[in-house]
Structure 1
């Protein structure tokens, strides 16, 4: 039992990390890509937004398909597209070509990103689902820690184009791992739904205020990190003068804070209840984001202040995003793929919008990035206070479980 749990966590963690790896690995190369293609940084940032937009839009297709035909076939299809998109990016001769192939790569990457959440729901619910999600994220943490370091090394010693060949190799490794180690978790006797039934399922989810509230709490948390993705490389490398390698260490440290926070999820959920954990953690995040905004607007422009407060803020987000995903899917087991797809689409559309906003308002300083992060914090905090409770929850069920002796 323990061996299968660990195997599933390793495989799901790798699948979840492939898409983010394709993001994090080329962030340190943004200035180099802009120089090589002779475009503004904003054009390179748009390639990041096109990736997120593709992932967001295509999840509404992958999710229901995985409910119909099983989890593995759509993953195979997505990984092949992901590899083709990476190879295309390596040959890009213009910003438009890079944006187009990044979109194709995003179409492929979203298969693993959405279906892994459905697989977690197939296997577990409640605290056990949070435990598997947290363990998966521990494996996933390799991406934001190693990817920027690898990308900066390839940029310094070779070319930014080599990064995408490395990403293609990672996609190929993912194909092998899925074929050899990932079990099919969608039962053969599972009900198959017509297009009309799928549309009705989406309609029911859009009417579920609790589901939507949880989705957008997690989505605004993710969007704050996407705002950081869009602006951090230029802020730390161009504005503060860090080398790509030092920027990679800063980026990795903030990712470690997020993953570290996630590892306490299962324990805190058992002790205090998932909703209480979400409400407290999002309040901490909003407070830290507000403090950072006040300091930035007052003229304090220090990489240490920016890094330190974001480190603490993203650590609190590690308690929010996995918990909201588990809570949102908990009541939708029979349509876990569909619910996961809608959740991912809404969250990544929010993130893509935040990337577009930061890119449009970016002036080379941290200001637009910090404003976007604070806005996300305020929005998530407000939603957490308005979140409806589960209709089936009695007063006794809402009490935190007693700690184990």
Structure 2
């Protein structure tokens, strides 16, 4: 890739990492927050659910805004909201206030999910777009490894509230990058005024596009599996496996290595084999790995090394799925890339929030319950791919013919 594209990918990656940091840095403190504010584990998990729901819904605002006024203004607005919410979370006196502050954090951070995708679509498409998305994934994927460790370091020196103080500082840095470094990539002639009838037409086009919806929900169920892990791991790792906040952070980081490593091959592999083939094979691998892990845990092989190894393999396949589905879903819709990005992101985040709720109701707080919920997401992703992707559907019919 040209040096300018690499530089932009690095900036976008740093900006996109703010949202994951707001989730992952907070995870080691979740049991302590519940204890400090005198609430149950399920109530404490609402701070994650509120973040995800607000994050998802806000994307419907930032996407059309990015198509109308350019890419930089929505990011400046969203990061400013995130900054104020981080200050509010730092001084939250009770759980209700903290949940509200977390929702506002999600509302602000959503801009850094939607707009960078649209920026990528402005400057690159196809395999090059997948390579750029993979380059961004380098930074995003490092955050699950570094953020919990950073959160543990804060907990070792101060109370959990200072984690949100650190996030406020990170948002100030992000705002400076947007204002002083990031160029505008949407040329004025391509901007579209916010028009409700046009948005309805665009949304109708996207919702009626079987290919777009299929790719969105393949990525959505893959993302949901990670959200289920985020909600359950702090309690499973610390209570069932007896890990300290630092030990949990290290275990969490190991689980991210597979995703991080595989995502770097998404572009080259897609260029060689084709994006649809990569998605088909990777979704099949993810589903198989998580089902095998779920079976092992229910048979009593639910030790920490087994769980970590199984999730490492599953996340490696997921690392090929996520960047490829994002690029492939947006490629046919360059004129409404912002709306497509926001609608797709909203559907994915709401899918993740729904799966957290379902997992909380149907599965216990054990490793077996958590892994079973993750495998359920894998099965749903595979079924969606089977319906939406001709390559996978044809492969299934050939297997049926041979039998």
Mark yes or no: TM-score above 0.5. Answer: yes
Match of residue 100 from structure 1: 100
- SS, match of residue 159 in structure 1: coil
Q: What residue number does 1:200 align with?
A: 201
CA distance in 2, matches of 1:360, 1:100: 23
Aligned match of 2:171: 171
1:185 aligns with 2:185: yes
CA contact (8 A) 1:224 1:376 kept: yes
1:389 Cα deviation from its structure 2 partner: 5.2
Between the aligned partners of 2:333 and 2:369, the Cα distance in structure 1 is: 37
Alpha-carbon distance in 1 for matches of 2:360, 2:7: 39
Q: CA deviation at 1:263?
A: 0.4
Unaligned segments of structure 2, at least 5 residues: 392-403
**C-alpha contact (below 8 Å) 1:24/1:143 kept by paired residues:** yes
Q: Which residue of 2 aligns with 1:156?
A: 156
Distance in 2 (alpha carbons) for counterparts of 1:141 and 1:106: 19
- Counterpart Cα distance in 2 of 1:122 and 1:373: 34
TM-score (norm 2): 0.94
2:364 and 2:216 mapped to 1: Cα distance? 31
CA distance in 2, matches of 1:197, 1:165: 41
The alignment partner of 1:320 has SS state of: helix
1:156-194 C-alpha deviation (Å, 9 max, x unpaired): 221100000000100010000111211101111114242
Aligned to 1:213: 214
Shift of 1:370: 1.3
1:94 deviation in Å? 1.6
* Map of 1:359 onto structure 2: 360
How far is 1:300 from its partner?
2.4
Residue 268 (structure 2) aligns with = 267
For the 8 Å contact 1:9–1:139, the answer to whether it is kept is no
CA RMSD in angstroms, aligned pairs only:
1.3
Which string of whole-angstrom CA distances, capped at 9 and with x for unpartnered residues, describes residues 62-116 of structure 1?
1011000101101000001001111111111221111111001111000111111
Secondary structure of 2:190's counterpart equals coil
Is this contact kept in 2: 1:209–1:388, CA < 8 A? Answer: no
Cα deviation per residue 1:92-148 (whole Å; 9 max; x = unaligned)? 122111111100111100011111101000111001000100011112223111110
Q: Which moved more, 1:19-28 or 1:194-203?
A: 194-203
Is the 1:221–1:380 contact (alpha carbons within 8 Å) kept by the matching residues of 2?
yes
Distance in 2, matches of 1:171 and 1:360, equals 35
Deviation string, structure 1 residues 189-242 (Cα, Å, up to 9, x no partner): 114242211111001100000100000001100100110000011111111001
TM-score of the superposed pair, with normalisation by structure 1: 0.94
Where do 1:68-107 residues align within 5 Å? 68-107=68-107
Identify unmatched segments of 5+ residues in structure 1.
391-405
> When the two structures are aligned, how many residues end up with a matched partner?
390
Residue 110 of structure 1 corresponds to 110
Which residue in the other structure is 2:57 paired with? 57
How far the C-alpha of 1:385 sits from its partner, in A, is 1.6
What's 2:258 paired with? 257
Which moved further from structure 2: 116-125 or 2-11? 2-11
- Does structure 2 conserve the Cα–Cα contact (< 8 Å) formed by 1:50 and 1:102? yes
CA distance in 2 between counterparts of 1:95 and 1:359 reads 19
- Give me the whole-angstrom Cα distance separating, in 2, the residues matched to 1:293 and 1:197: 45
Would the aligned equivalents of 2:70 and 2:191 in 1 still touch at CA under 8 Å? no
Shift of 1:10: 1.1
Give me the whole-angstrom Cα distance separating, in 2, the residues matched to 1:43 and 1:177.
36
Contact 1:231–1:369 (8 Å) recurs in 2: yes
